[in-house]
Amino acid sequence: MSVEIAAFVARWAASPFAGLETAPWLVTQGAEGHVAAAIPGLTADYVVNGDVALHRSAIVEPGAVLKGPAIIGPRCLVAAGAYLRGGVFLDGDCIVGPNAELKSSFMFKGAKLAHLNFVGDSILGAGVNIEAGAAIANYRNELEDKAIRIAWRGGVLETGVKKFGALLGDETRVGANAVIAPGAILARKTRVPRLALVDQYPH
């Protein structure tokens, strides 16, 4: 079984990462290298400072922390107290709200983290909206065997990695204080209620 990112995220095919025809958890594992490799191909509309590329129309508020490599696209907002690390890509019109943490992840056009969120090792499609306090966990702290496994279409995906959050299809909505457990694949326009737990670990 395979999981094609472009089937969940329409803009993947036009992104700097379109050539990475591999599983989403392998993409996020290599996030630092993939984002760093994409920076030299950006247009002159980006200001590059070390390994952080910031579009001239993007806003990074005082108190935000950007640890490269990172690409912050057109009209993005990275709010005060936000923490970006481990290889991060923000497409156009994305928001990382106050005190949200984004690690080794890719956000596509118009995706938003409200505030007080954690999103680790994930790919968020266009228009994804994650309300306040919701988290996408990336590590099976509670299990002795940390390998990420995902129940998928009647079988089990053996990822071979110990850190992976989720692949969220375009226009998915995640309610406040919901938790997406490590290793999740959500179709486009999925709705996750407030306070819900999404756990696709095979039982």
Task: Tell whether 113 is covered by a domain.
Answer: yes
Do the beta carbons of residue 115 and residue 131 sit within 8 Å? no
For residue 79, is it within any domain?
yes
- Computed over its alpha carbons, how large is the radius of gyration of the chain? 16
Q: What confidence tier does 203 reach under pLDDT thresholds 50, 70, 90?
A: confident
**Amino acid identity for residue 116 in this structure:** L
* pLDDT tens-digit readout, 36-90: 999 999 999 999 999 999 999 999 999 999 999 999 999 999 999 999 999 999 9
Q: Are 139 and 150 in contact (CB under 8 A)?
A: no
Question: What's the pLDDT at 192?
Answer: 98
Supply angle C-alpha 125, 112, 39, rounded to 5. 65
DSSP secondary structure, 140-181, as one string: -TT-SS---EEEETTEEEE---S---EEE-TT-EE-TT-EE-
The amino acid at residue 127 is G
According to DSSP, the residues that pair with 184 across neighbouring strands are 166
- Ordered DSSP codes for 81-98: T-EEEEEEEE-TT-EE-T
Q: Is the pLDDT of residue 155 over 70?
A: yes
The encoded tokens of residue 202 equal 């095979």
Domain CATH for 139 = 2.160.10.10
Looking at the chain, the whole-number percentage of residues with pLDDT higher than 70 is 100
- In the predicted model, is pLDDT for residue 142 greater than 70? yes
Q: Is residue 16 part of a domain?
A: yes
In a domain, residue 167? The reply is yes
- Res. 22: pLDDT tops 90: no
Domain extent, residue 78, equals 5-198
Please give the tally of structural domains in the chain.
1
Cβ(17)–Cβ(36) below 8 Å: no
Residue 52 is assigned to a structural domain of this protein: yes
Residue with tokens 């919701």: 134
* Inside any domain, residue 122: yes
Query: What value does the mean pLDDT take over residues 139-166?
Result: 96
CA dist 116 and 96 (Å) reads: 10
Q: Kindly provide the b/e burial profile for residues 147-164, where b requires at least 16 CB atoms within 10 angstroms of the residue's own CB.
A: ebbbbbeeeebebebbbb
28 C-beta neighbours (distance < 10 Å), count: 26
Higher-pLDDT residue of 2, 54? 54
pLDDT at 149: 97
Residue 199 has pLDDT above 70, yes or no: yes
Q: Does 133 map to a domain?
A: yes
Domain assignment present for residue 203? The answer is no
What does the DSSP 8-state code read for residue 74?
Answer: T
The band of 1, judged by pLDDT with boundaries at 50, 70 and 90, is low
